[in-house]
Amino acid sequence: MSDLHILHCTAVTVDDALTVIPDAALVASDAHLVYVGPAAGAPAPRPGDEVLDATGLVAIPGLINAHTHLAMTLFRGAADDLPLQTWLAEKIWPVEARITRDDVYWASLLGIAEMLRAGVTTFNDMYWHVEAVADAVRESGIRACLSGVVIGVMPNAEEILTAAIARVRTLQAEGHPRILPAFGPHAPYTVPAPMLRRVIEAAAELGVGIHTHLSETAGEVAACRQEFGTTPIARMAELGLFTVPVTAAHVVHPTAGEIALLAAHDAVVAHCPSSNMKLGSGIAPVSALQDAGVAVALGTDGAGSNNTLDVLREMHMAALLAKVGSDATAVSAPEALRMATRGGAAALRRDDLGVLRVGALADIALLDFTAPHLTPSAGREISHLTYAAHGGDVHTTVVHGQVLMHNRQLRTLDEARIRARVNEAAARLFG
Ligand SMILES: [Zn+2]
């Protein structure tokens, strides 16, 4: 197989020292990086290798969207300006009941096209019809952790759980190099305790993680106190959730004791600043979580509540929102970048993602730093990535050593067809 040589970029490696290498080269062989360093010292390309001249481009580790419901691209712009419970019960669940496997497939491909265009190379998904999402992942070349959804308050809950277990087993047997399986119990308020215990047992038995929503709104916390006399994260701990690897989305209203619980059990929080702002959920205590030692990743949440899947924009939001409480030092530019890369890798329990280093997977985004809004750039790359760049600045996206977008042209996806199919589905579902 031919190697990929990316020459003369500025490499923002996001290693522990946040090393930035001017005039760098990145060389990928198969799926992995085999050289990260000055272009002058790079191995010479061999005949048949793909060589990209990346002069003027800044390379970063592919961004990781640590919490999304990808096929909710169908809901983009269909239900704005509502609080979470009204939004879910009146606008989302009634339509979701009519969504087909085919709808999920096309809506997922749309989300993947959008993310590849924004330099997102991995996503952590929670949605129905996992097989359709998996097909979209296999065909597009992106990387994903697919958890599906388990909701216990539905009449066919038993069937949903059985199917979720079978699906994890099937994905494990397949062993696809770009797909990780997990379980996705939706939230403590939608999955009763006996079913949660069974999901946790299944995750422990099969050796996979759990992706869930925790402590998203003050209303959720109040209802949990009233019904169970405790708070959602503490209750989940009592049910044994943290005996398996957990990535918890939102975590907007944890108590101090719950933050300590998350830290003690190495749970990872997927912070979703845009979604939390839009649904009026509040400001997650990111600095307190980090001070306690909790790894924090970034998620866009679904396009119904964001409304884009642009992780660069989420970095910007995370850095600004943390400062609204009046601490301008909270969530610095480097910290926001680390959350979108290394934090995301932590959410998936992978140390070979989210960093440009030899031996890591070759998941890379290259941004065009010749744009006026990214100038002057020398020595200011990390600031620009958080405060000035957006997904549209991404020029080239590489996943698993494969160039999936170059010069803003997607190589594996037929965008016109995808858009047409999603528009058709939206017309049918929303009238
Ligand atoms: Zn969510």
Q: What is the per-residue pLDDT across 332-352, written as a single tens digit (0 to 9) for each?
A: 999 999 999 999 999 999 999
Same domain, 176 and 123: yes
User: For residue 213, how far is its CA from the centre of ligand 1 (angstroms)?
Assistant: 6
Q: Is the pLDDT of residue 1 over 80?
A: no
* Shared-domain flag, residues 288 and 320: yes
Asked, for residue 122, whether it belongs to a domain, the answer is yes
| Amino acid 35: pLDDT | 98
Residue at a domain's end among 327, 347, 367: 347
**pLDDT at position 90 over 90:** no
Distance 301 CA to ligand 1 centre (A): 5
53 lies in the same domain as 116: no
CATH number at residue 399: 2.30.40.10
Residues 379 and 281 in one domain: no
Strands (E), 120-166: 120-125, 143-146
Distance (Å) from CA 326 to ligand 1 centroid:
27
Same domain, 89 and 56: no
Asked if 205 and 319 sit in the same domain, the reply is yes
423 assigned to some structural domain:
no
CATH value at residue 132: 3.20.20.140
DSSP 154-207: STTHHHHHHHHHHHHHHHHHHT-TTEEE-B-B--TTTS-HHHHHHHHHHHHHHT
Residue 361 in this model has a pLDDT that exceeds 90: yes
| Cα 388 to Cα 65, 325, 336, 345, 408, distances in angstroms | 19, 22, 13, 24, 19
The reply to whether 418 falls in a domain is: no
- Which residues, 6+ apart, have CB-to-CB distance to 14 below 8 Å? 60, 61, 337, 338, 341, 342, 354, 355, 356
Q: Residue 412 has what pLDDT?
A: 98
Flag whether pLDDT at 393 surpasses 80: yes
Do residues 92 and 159 both lie within one domain? yes
Quick one: 397 and 268 in the same domain?
no
Query: pLDDT above 90 covers what percent of the chain?
Result: 93
Residue 428 lies in a domain: no
| CA–CA gap between residue 180 and residue 348 (Å, rounded) | 8
- Assess whether pLDDT exceeds 90 at residue 93: no
What is the count of structural domains for the chain?
2
Least confident of 73-87, 123-137, 168-182: 73-87
pLDDT at residue 79, as a whole number:
84
Q: What percent of the chain has pLDDT over 70?
A: 100
Whole-number pLDDT of residue 92:
87
Pair 278, 163 in one domain: yes
Q: Is residue 421 part of a domain?
A: no
Q: What is the whole-number distance in angstroms between the Cα of residue 10 and the centre of ligand 1?
A: 34
Report the length, in residues, of the chain: 431
Q: Of 300, 330, 347, which residue is a domain's last?
A: 347
CA of 274 to the centre of ligand 1 (A): 12
Give the domain-ending residue among 347, 365, 399.
347
**Do the Cβ atoms of 137 and 112 come closer than 8 Å?**
yes
Average pLDDT of span 172-190 = 97
CB 113 within 8 A of CB 413: yes
The rounded Å distance from CA 227 to ligand 1 centre is 23
Ligand 1 midpoint to CA 70 (Å):
10
Tell whether 431 is covered by a domain.
no
Burial of 376 (0-12, 13-18, 19+ CB in 10 A): exposed
Residue 302 CA to ligand 1 centre (angstroms)? 6
Average pLDDT over residues 315-330: 94
In the beta sheet, which residues pair with residue 74? none
124 DSSP assignment:
E
* Any domain includes 128: yes
For residues 288 and 366, membership in a common domain is answered with: no
Domain that holds residue 155: 63-347
- Asked if residue 83 has pLDDT above 90, the reply is no
- Band the pLDDT of 419: cuts 50, 70, 90: very high
Residue 68 CA to ligand 1 center (angstroms) comes to 6
Listing DSSP states for 294-337 in one string gives: -EEEE----GGGSS---HHHHHHHHHHHHHTTS-TTSS-HHHHH
The reply to whether 326 falls in a domain is yes
Residues 6+ apart with CB under 8 A from 159: none
CA of 91 to the centre of ligand 1 (A): 15
Distance of CA 412 to the CA centre of its chain: 20
Q: Are residues 155 and 236 in the same domain?
A: yes
Residues 358, 397: Cα–Cα separation, whole Å: 18
Q: Tell me, what's the pLDDT at 82?
A: 86
Categorize the per-residue pLDDT at 162 as very low, low, confident or very high, splitting at 50, 70 and 90.
very high
Q: What is the DSSP letter of 343?
A: I
Give me ligand 1 centre to Cα 249, in Å.
Answer: 7
In this structure, the answer to whether residues 152 and 245 fall within a common structural domain is yes
